[in-house]
Amino acid sequence: MQGFIVMDYAKRYKEAISYLSNMIRKKELIHTEDILIGLDSAPKGLAKLISGKNNGKVIIKCDADLPKPAL
């Protein structure tokens, strides 16, 4: 695996969004989120992020009345 600098490809941003969105719709690219509820869970989220124990992006949902996003 080799990394790259996103801004080196800024001119191709629209192309990438279209391509990746299509892959997500076709379930060829799957993303995960580690969602924690409440601002009081922020320290736990940060600890998971720093330790590498998170599963995907760490999201702290501050409004418990909002529905959990479908994965």
pTM above 0.75, yes or no: no
Domain positions in the chain are 32-64
DSSP letters, the chain, are -----GGGGGGGHHHHHHHHHHHHHTTSS---EEEEESGGGHHHHHHHHHHT---SEEEEE--TTSPPPP-
pLDDT of residue 71: 59
pLDDT mean across residues, the chain: 88
pLDDT digits (tens, 9 = 90+) for 18-48: 999 999 999 999 888 999 998 899 999 999 9
Find the range with the poorest average confidence among 4-8, 33-37, 50-54, 67-71: 67-71
Of the chain, the percentage scoring pLDDT greater than 90 comes to: 66
